[in-house]
Amino acid sequence: MPMDNAVLLQSNDLAVGYRQSGNKSLVLHKDINVQLHRGEFACLLGPNGAGKSTLIKTLSGFIPKMAGKVSVNGKALADYKRNELAKVVSVVLTERLQIPNMTVFDLVALGRTPYTDFFGMLSKHDKQLVKQAIDDVGLSGFANRQLVCMSDGERQKAMIAKALVQDTPLIILDEPTAFLDLPSKIEIVQLLKKLARERNRGILLSTHDLDLALQLADKIWLLAQGRQLEAGVPEDLVLANGFRRFFEKEGILFDNESGSFKVEREQMKTIRVIGKGVEYKWLSHALNRTGYQTTVEEGNYPNIEIDSNANKAYILHQTDGSRHALRTIEDLLLQIRQE
């Protein structure tokens, strides 16, 4: 498929918020300047209450903007007629849909609504698109399955198929993975990235899953209360301390090196760990978690030697010369604490 790198979604000095009773309005964020290109998968990250949902609703045309400009394909969002907009932006939302008697096929077919006739009859072409989309999201063989008999993850995949047959260049998803288990989350985000690339769609996903966003997003948009939205390639944002600043909270630190959060703790004692491989990694993890600093340097601290032979053991040499061989990390931690 040709990669057409045109700007799909663009905002200029956009302000989002809510109209309140009377003539008042509550502006949550202003001066938002972002772009989303065709074929690009962007993740909108931010803590709860940051206004992610409001921004998403504004960009999908659910609520009016407060100021500035939003355009899709070069045309202002507000200038689209209702039925035109349905062919430009499709959405997938957080809500769990429990619709008795509705099958996957029925659900996905509703995505063709902007194209079908007065009674919503499906043409042969429509049916073909629906079947194709069901296959594309990995639900082949599920077409006649009832929605109520499916897992939450499968149901959200069906909603993504609905968005696909709606055949819009822009797909916006508002925390669709919020209530899913980790494997389903990974599957969905991977699927979205693939669809963005292969189908040349612009996909914007709001999510809490920092790890996944860092690994898979082409662009990340960071949004926090009282801050300017920052957008960019994940790595640039990490290097510019973007995540640190956005997720600042007492006792929690974004570790730029590992790209994950660390809980700050007073380090009590240093322990030297000798070994390698997967045992080494998890032993260090356990020691860090329980408040020890680990090192490979020699010095006047306890040593732990990992014996990776047939009789796997952790051998603890205390500074006083005593030696203990322990079978599990649990026993080892207990032993260290006793000293």
Partner 1 sequence: MEEHRVKWVLGFGLLVALLLLLFMANIGFGSVSIPFDDILNVLLGEKASRSAYTSIILMSRLPQTITAVLAGAGLAVGGLQMQTLFRNPLAGPSILGISSGAGLGVALVVLFAGNILGVTISGYGLLGHMTVVGAAFLGAFTILLLIVFFAQALRDNTILLIVGIMIGYAASAIIGVMKFYSPKEDVHAYVIWGLGSFSNVSWEHLLILIPIVLIGLVMSLLLIKPLNVLLLGENYAENLGINIRNTRLAILFCTGILTAAITAFCGPIAFLGLAVPHLTKGLFRTSDQKVLMPAVILAGAVLALFCNLIARLPGFDGALPINVVTGLIGAPIVISVIIKRRKMNANG
For position 86 contacting partner 1 by CB under 8 A, the verdict is yes
List, in order, residues 6 or more apart from 159 with CB less than 8 Å away. Answer: 92, 93, 97, 107, 176
| Interactions with partner 1, residue window 145-204 (CB under 8 A) | 148-149, 166
| Segment contacting partner 1 by CB under 8 A, of 37-45, 60-68, 285-293, 309-317 | 60-68
DSSP calls for 81-100:
-HHHHTTTEEEE-SPPP--T
The yes or no reply on residue 20 touching partner 1 (CB under 8 A) is no
Q: Minimum distance from CB of 145 to partner 1 (Å)?
A: 12
State the nearest-atom distance from the C-beta of 123 to partner 1, in Å.
14
Alpha carbons 213 and 203: distance in angstroms, whole number: 13
Q: Check residue 18 for interaction with partner 1 (CB under 8 A).
A: no
What distances in angstroms separate CA 304 from CA 11, 307, 313, one per listed residue? 56, 9, 10
Largest CA distance in the chain: 86
- For 30, counting Cβ atoms within 10 Å of its Cβ (0-12 exposed, 13-18 middle, 19+ buried), the class is middle
Q: Which is nearer to partner 1, 68 or 114 (CB)?
A: 114
Number of residues located near partner 1, criterion CB under 8 A? 36
**Applying CB under 8 A, does 85 fall inside the site for partner 1?**
yes
Q: DSSP letter for 118, please.
A: T
Query: Can residue 82 be called a binding residue for partner 1 (CB under 8 A)?
Result: yes
Q: Is 58 in the site for partner 1 (CB under 8 A)?
A: no
Pick 58 or 90: Cβ nearer partner 1: 90
C-beta of residue 19 within 8 angstroms of C-beta of residue 180 = no
Q: Which of 7, 15, 67, 97 binds partner 1 (CB under 8 A)?
A: 97
Q: Closest CB to partner 1 among 104 and 224?
A: 104
Q: Is 89 in the site for partner 1 (CB under 8 A)?
A: yes
Q: How many CB atoms lie within 10 A of CB 100?
A: 7
> Binding to partner 1 (CB under 8 A): which residues in 103-132?
103, 105-107, 110-111, 113-114, 116, 118-121
For residue 165, which of 196, 130, 135 has the smallest C-alpha distance?
Answer: 130
- Closer of 153 and 234 to partner 1 (Cβ): 153
Query: Judged by CB under 8 A, which of 98, 258, 311, 338 binds partner 1?
Result: 98
Contact string (CB under 8 A) for partner 1, positions 242-261, x = contact: --------------------
Between 119 and 338, name the residue whose CB sits nearer to partner 1. 119
Q: Is 83 in the site for partner 1 (CB under 8 A)?
A: yes
Per-residue burial over 230-256, b = 16 or more CB atoms within 10 Å of its CB, e = otherwise? bbeebeebbeeebbeebbeeeeeebee
SS3 of 179, please? coil
DSSP letter, residue 111: G
Among candidate residues 61, 57, 54, the one with its CA nearest the CA of residue 78: 61
Q: Contact residues for partner 1 (CB under 8 A)?
A: 60-62, 82-83, 85-87, 89-91, 93, 95, 97-103, 105-107, 110-111, 113-114, 116, 118-121, 144, 148-149, 166
